[in-house]
Structure formats: structure tokens, C-alpha cells
Amino acid sequence: MEIIMVGAKSTEQKKHCTLRFIIILSGIWLLLCAPQVVKADDVEVMNSSDLQGMLNENSSVVQNAPVNTIAPLVATITDSGTFGTCDWDIDDEGLLTIHAGVLGKGIGNWVADGRMNDDITNVVCDPGVVANENSGRLFFGLKNVQTIDVTNLDTSNVVDMSYMFACSYNDANNSLHQNVSLINIIGLNNLDTSKVQDMHNMFYNDIKLVSLDVSSFDTSNVTDMNNMFFGDSKLVELSGLDKWDTGKVQDFSSIFNYLPLTSMSDIEKWDMSSAVDIGSMFSNMRNLTTLDLSAWDVSNVEKAPLLFYFCDGLTSVKGLDQWNYHKITDIRWLFYGNTKNQNIRDIEGWDTSNITNMNGVFDYCLGLDYLDLSGWDTSNVTDMTYMFHYTPKLTEIKGITNFNTSKVTKMGNMFANCGVPVLDLSSFDTSKVVDMSSMFYLSSNKNIIGDFDTSNVTNMNGVFSTSTIPNFEELDLNVLSWDVSKCRDFGSAFSGNPNLTSLDLSQWNPKSATSFNSMFSADPNLKNLDVSTWETPNLTSLNNTFYQDTSLEKLYLSSWNTSKVTNMSYLFSYMTNLAELDISNWDTGKVTSMLQMFAYNPNLWKLSLGPKTQVISGTNSSGTNIGSSFPTPPAKNTEIIDPTTENKYYSISPKWQEVDYDNGGSDHEPVGALRTSSELNTIPREENTTYVWQQQPYMDVSMDVPDLSYGTASANQGVTPREQDSWAITLNNNVYPATTLNTTIAVSMETPLANDAGDTLDDSFIFRDNTGNDSVISTTPTTIYDGKVTNGVKNLSWDSNHGFLMNLHSFQTPMGTYSTTLDWTMVNSI
């Protein structure tokens, strides 16, 4: 029998339970054998003999029938397998066909590695496909799937549909990605969900789905709907929710998170009596404008975090004032970003006695101007971070003076950018608080009243950052005497305050501190800061600590222990008025990054360094610049900023000069050696050393004088020349900067010229200048040179007829060997 198959797929099946032949007979379709449909409760299957009989009865028809010989292209099978008892195959067009049988549990094995299949673009189920009781993640990993047809899928026994149509996938690094191709799910109205208990994440992150009709869903046994439609950001039509029975649902968290719907009227009558968690139900529904939840029974709700989070289009929520919330424990971020909501104050009468977490409950409520929380019981609250954060229009929080904060451990950002002019926190018990990071960040409070116990605080990062508090001494918050002994992170604690001019933290003992990153950075008017008493044995990072403190003039930091510090990048950068810096005991041996540590310090004229205080230069192994250098003094006459004196002093060279206090040096009359900026780093120091800008020329002048001899002479011999025909003294002018000196040289004898017997030659030793004038050299100084000496070497020389000569003018001169010692005096002036 010849059978020509037209329009059918040529496939080889591993199991042969049914056989389908479609024959074209004179243009009429003739179905010889219908496929056997397998259902969950079927027990009979057509046997092969019945099938063969049907074929035999029709063989003559088949043989004599005219055949249409025009056939379309036949798809090619590229992959196949079996999941549970269901055979499946994938053709070269990306169609996954699931054949009759019972599916396996969880992710289909058409996703071979359990992470991703990017070949499948469409899915269809043949009649007779029965879903597993656990069908969670059934279609997970289908990266490029566009349609899923479940018209024929029997789900009558399914209990778990979690992630069922969430086609997210994992890449080779096991990172989760959302599906960006699924646009249609066909046959949802045929799904039997009567036994389903778990629908969490069922349509999770299907960001191309535009519409869903779930009106046929039987949800009477469902207990978990969390994240059911989470992230379906294009889903503008979701119909049928009003038909749902939600009486058993306990978890609604994030069910509609990120949906673009404008109305949720279909859920206003939902039975919420079993609900325990409604957190994030409406989070990020930015198109939603109104909600009426007055019919909801929330008496069993325990968690409602982020319930209306970032619903910035929401103008009203009816029914909040009627809610019985006595079991609630968590309302964190409840109204975050509700910039238009007119019903926020409806929660003022809630029973908050069991609430432990109030983190961010009113955060970013830009329109909120008044709160009356007098009736709130906060005795069990442990977390108040971000509670009133970013409420710039808030002028009063009535009842805050009665807050019980005895159990609170976290207050980070609690009043950051809060508009209340005077915060009376006198009732606050902060003895258990460990986190005060950014607590008063960007605050414009005129006063903050309280007596804080900070003995257990470990994090003060940004505690007053970008605030406008001008004077902490006048603040009624005992800040200057806080116990900070356990605090590890002070990053940006006082940074960015435009009004701060003076800060005395000498009573602080930050012995546990590891980070001072940006602690005082960008305080443009801070002129006086006292941190000179601090001991910092655990400090590891000083990145940007004083960056852009353009008014600060003096820093005395020699008490700081920096032996563990690894990062000093931008530490003193752009401190344009810094004049004096003492880091004389600093050990920089473990620092690996000093990028621009001293960038732009044009007025730093006094610098105290220790034996272990050095800078690093160059790049690290990855080529990143990590280095810095000590500042170079300005070469031109730059005035020194020193308010301790009325005199004016100026730099005269690009060099530093050691003060050398032990040898009489002072800050403005140093006497020590000159050093370039690089030499501060390369020439070792044996002790703490203070350097200042060079303010006077460095007087390095010397004179070399050779011996004089006259040999043997006779009495009354007259003028007797030296034995040296040409004799010279050498003057070395190494004054820095290079300077021509006005030099005077005078000579005298320590004792008269005498022999061993004590006879003297009076008036016999003379100096004859180059014009022939003679001067007697005696024990009184005689000037032999008065002139200029330029920078470098200058020789003063005389021939045998000039210079130092002997004038033997008496016959009475006793015989003998005469000698004396000459004293040379050189006086230089500029």
C-alpha cells in the first residue's frame, strides 16, 4: 500500500501509542484513525489490532484515491526527548510540541542544562498532555519563547503553579535574566486550577505581556500569590480579578508590583480575612491614582512593608482609617514616594503596639506637612531608619516627644532632609542604637534637643552630612561630648556643611574607628577644627577626609595612629588655605593609594613629618595611578599666612628648609638644610622634623686660605716676597637662591710675629694691594677686600710683588724663626 502524506511532519517517535494518517481523497480529508486522547482518569487505550482493522477496511479507498502531489515544505526535528511520559520535539522553526502523556515535575528537560534554551520560540501541547502535580517552573529557561499554547493542557491535578509561566533564564554565569519575548499565553481559560494552592511568581517578569484574562481561574484553594504578576511592566489589561475567591490566600506580597494599571477596582471586594502578608502589593504602580480598600478585612495581617511603595500617582486610599491593624509588625516603607497621597494621615490612629519595623514609613512623602503620632505606641520598634526621611515640607511631628525608643537599634537617615525646624528628641533613649548613619543628613533644623547616649553606636557615616547646622556648640544635643569609643565608621560625618565654621571634637575618642573617609570634606567655611587629641589604632582609610576644606588653616594630627591605613587618596586635596600641617608621627608604610593626597595646597608653608612619613608614587599592577608627592613651595614671592605675627614673610624659592629649633631656628628664620619636595621623601629623617618655606637666602659661603711662607731673610732686607709667586684665597658662594654678595674680608694676627726666644717683628708683616698701597697687619683686623662675590667660586690672587709681604726694615732684628697665626674674617651681606 502506497501512502503519500501531505502537510504532515515526518518524525520518528520513540513510543507508538497512536497512529494518524490523513489521506487526501478527491479534495476531501479522510481521517482513518483519530488520535487517542489520554486524560488523567483514562484507563483504556485503543489496541493495535483495532487500529489495523480500520486500516485494512480502508485500504482499497487509499489505493484508488487520486492524490494531490503538491506538498508544503516539511519541518525538520532538531531535538527531542521525553519528560515524564510525554514525548516532545523541537523543530527547526523553534516549535516545541509536547505530546500526550503525563509531564514530569518542575522544569521541563527541553532546557537541558536547567538554565536556558534559546532555540524554542513557541510551545504547543497536544491533546492528552497532563500536567504534573508540581508544575512549578514548567516553562522556565525559555529565553526566546513568544507564545505558549496550553489549550490542551490538563491541569486538573496541579497543586503548584509557582513560576509556571515565568520564562526567566540563567546565563552561563548563573545570573538570572527576565524574559523579553513572551507576548501571548493561549488557553488560560481552559486551565483547571481548582486544586492549585501555590501561584507565587506564576507570571513573574514577563515584561512583554500586554493582556491577561484570568477570569476562569478557580483560586478557592490558593494560599500563596506572592509576586504572581511581579514585573509585568507592559501588562495594561488584567481582567477577571473580581471573579477570584481569595478567602484562603495568606501571602499577597508583591502580587502587582511594577504593573502599569491605572485602576484596581476589581480587587476592592476581595476577601482578605486570611491575609498575613500584603507587603509590596501595590509597589511601583506609578499609574495608579485611587484605591478603595474600605471593605478589606486585614485583622490577620502581620506584614505590610512597602504596601504603597513609590505609588507617586496615588492621590487617595480610602479605608485606611478603618483598618484593624492590631497584629501588624512591619510597616517599613509603607508610603515611600507617595508625593500626592491625601490619606497618609489616616493611619495616625492605628494600633502600633506590635510593630517592630517602621523603617521609611513616611520616606519621600514630599507633600506631607503635618503628623499627629500622639497615639502611637513605639515600645516594640527596633528599626526607625528613614522614618521621616525626605519630608521637606513637614513642619511638625506631634507626639514625637512621647516616643519610646528603648528597643530601637537603628536610626540611620531617620530625620534626613526633614523640614521640622526644631526637633525635640528629649524623650529618645538611644542606649541600644548602633546605627546613626545619615541620621540628620541634609537637615536644616534650627535646633535639635536631646541627650543622646551613643556608647553603642558603631556607624555614624554621614550623621550630619550636608546639614546646615552652623554651630554644634549651640546645638542642644551634646554632640561635642558624645561617647564614640565603639564607632567604626565616621565617613562623611560632617561633610558638605556650608555653614560650619568651627568644630571642637577634642573630647571624642574614636579608638575603634576604621574609616574617616570624607569625614570633614567639602566644608567650605570650616576654619577651625580640633581633632588633635585623637588616638586611632584601628584606622584603615583616610580617603578624602579633608578634601576641599578651603578655609581650614591648621591641622595638628600628630597623635593619629596611621600604621594600619591603606588609603590616603585626596586626603588633603584642594585645601587651598591650609597653612600648617603636623603629621609628624604618621607611619605610611602600609598605604597602597595616595592619589593626589596633597593636590593643590598653595598656602601650605609649614609641614611637620616623621621618620616613617613618606609618600608613594607611580602606578599599581593594573596601571592605575596611586601616587602623590609633597607640595612644592611657590618659587615667587608668595606671602605666608601666619596670624600669630604682624610681620609679613614670603617664600623665595621652590624649596623647603628645616627649621632646626635645637640650633636656634624659628618658623620664619630657619637655619637647617634646604630640601626639595622629592628630597623630603628620599632623605631619611631620624626624628620628627618641621620644614617651612625658604624665606631668606640660605647662606652657604666659605673661604679657603693656603699657608704663607717667606723662607730665609736678612735684617734690614726691606720688602721680602713670599716663597709662593702667585698666591690666592678661594671664595665659595653657594647661597640659595643664587645671590651676589657684598663681601668684606679682614685679616689680623692672633699674636705678634715672634720667634722662639720671644723676639717680635713689629710692623713687618704688610699687605700691599694691587695699587701699591701698604697696610700693616697687626692684631687689629685689616680689611684686604671689599667687593662683590657672585654665585659660584671666586679666587682673590696676588703676584709675588703684591699681597702679603715682609718688610724687614731694621738692622736690630734678632735672628730666628718667626711665626704667627692669622685670623680671617669674612662678612657677607645681600
Q: What pLDDT score does 567 carry?
A: 98
Question: Sign of the C-alpha dihedral, residues 769, 775, 779, 783?
Answer: negative
Q: How many CA atoms lie within 13 A of 112 on its CB side?
A: 9
- 417 has pLDDT over 60: yes
CA–CA distance, 468 with 549 (Å, rounded to integer): 16
Beta bridge partners of 391: 418
Q: Is residue 97 helix, strand or coil?
A: strand
Is residue 805 within 8 Å of residue 722, measured between CB atoms? yes
Q: What pLDDT score does 819 carry?
A: 86
The 10s digit of each residue's pLDDT in 198-229 is: 999 999 999 999 999 999 999 999 999 999 99
DSSP 673-711: -EE-HHHHHHS--SS-EEEEE--S-B--EEEE-------
- 17 has pLDDT over 90: no
Beta bridge partners of 732: 702, 793
The cell for 269 is: 471586594
Residue 799: how many CB atoms within 10 A of its CB? Answer: 12
Is residue 791 within 8 Å of residue 752, measured between CB atoms? no
Q: Burial of 241 by CB count in 10 Å (0-12 exposed, 13-18 middle, 19+ buried)?
A: buried
CA–CA distance, 42 with 668 (Å, rounded to integer): 106
- 21 has pLDDT over 60: no
Q: What pLDDT score does 808 carry?
A: 83
Q: What are phi and psi of 479, to 5 degrees?
A: -60, -40
DSSP letter assigned to residue 261: -
Where is 410: in which H helix or E strand? Answer: none
Q: Is 431 left (phi over 0), alpha (psi -120 to 50) or beta?
A: alpha
Is residue 300 within 8 Å of residue 327, measured between CB atoms? yes
The 10s digit of each residue's pLDDT in 514-531 is: 999 999 999 999 999 999
Tracing cell 618659587 back to the chain, one arrives at 635
CA–CA distance, 627 with 571 (Å, rounded to integer): 12
The cell for 72 is: 508544503
Q: What share of the chain is helix, strand, coil (3-state, %, to 5)?
A: 5, 25, 70
The cell for 581 is: 600641617
Q: Burial of 556 by CB count in 10 Å (0-12 exposed, 13-18 middle, 19+ buried)?
A: middle
| Out of 138-142, 528-532, 623-627, least confident range | 623-627
The 10s digit of each residue's pLDDT in 23-65 is: 333 333 333 333 333 333 443 333 434 433 433 443 333 334 4
14 vs 432 pLDDT, higher one: 432
What is the rounded (10 degree) CA torsion for 502, 503, 506, 512? -150
The cell for 757 is: 726666644
- 1 has pLDDT over 90: no
The 10s digit of each residue's pLDDT in 251-297 is: 999 999 999 999 999 999 999 999 999 999 999 999 999 999 999 99
Contacts of range 791-796, beta carbons closer than 8 Å, 24 or more positions apart? 791/733, 791/734, 791/735, 791/738, 791/739, 791/740, 792/732, 792/733, 793/730, 793/731, 793/732, 793/733, 794/730, 794/731, 794/733, 795/728, 795/729, 795/730, 795/731, 796/728, 796/729, 796/730, 796/731, 796/745
Residues near 405 by Cβ (< 8 Å), separated by ≥ 6?
Answer: 378, 381, 384, 411, 427, 428, 429, 430, 433
Q: What pLDDT score does 72 carry?
A: 53
Percent of the chain with pLDDT over 90: 81
Q: Which of 800, 746, 743, 742 is nearest to 770 (CA)?
A: 800
DSSP letter assigned to residue 52: H
Strands 701-704 and 727-733: antiparallel
The 10s digit of each residue's pLDDT in 306-340 is: 999 999 999 999 999 999 888 999 999 999 999 99
Radius of gyration for the alpha carbons in the chain, expressed in angstroms and rounded: 48
Is residue 464 within 8 Å of residue 491, measured between CB atoms? no
CA–CA distance, 654 with 659 (Å, rounded to integer): 16
Q: What is the mean pLDDT of the chain?
A: 90
828, amino acid identity: N
Q: Give the start-to-end residue ranges of the domains of the chain.
A: 1-74, 77-153+163-188+205-214+229-238, 701-829
Residue 664: how many CB atoms within 10 A of its CB? Answer: 10
Rounded to whole angstroms, what are the CA distances from 818 to 746, 753, 757, 761, 815? 22, 6, 10, 8, 9
CA–CA distance, 302 with 370 (Å, rounded to integer): 27
Q: Which of 112, 105, 204 is nearest to 159 (CA)?
A: 105
Q: What are phi and psi of 243, to 5 degrees?
A: -90, -5
635 vs 212 pLDDT, higher one: 212
Is the CATH number of domain 701-829 2.60.40? yes
The 10s digit of each residue's pLDDT in 726-756 is: 899 999 999 999 999 999 999 999 999 888 8
- 695 has pLDDT over 80: yes
Q: What pLDDT score does 812 carry?
A: 77
14-23 mean pLDDT: 33
Tracing cell 645671590 back to the chain, one arrives at 739
Q: With bands split at pLDDT 50, 70 and 90, how would you rate the model's confidence at 436?
A: very high
Q: What pLDDT score does 57 carry?
A: 42
The 10s digit of each residue's pLDDT in 454-479 is: 999 999 999 999 999 999 999 999 99
Q: How many CA atoms lie within 13 A of 578 on its CB side?
A: 26
CA–CA distance, 670 with 701 (Å, rounded to integer): 17
Residues in the chain: 830
C-alpha angle with apex 359: 353 to 360, nearest 5 degrees? 120
123, amino acid identity: V
Q: What pLDDT score does 73 carry?
A: 57
DSSP 293-321: -TT---TT--B-TTTTTT-TT--EEETGG
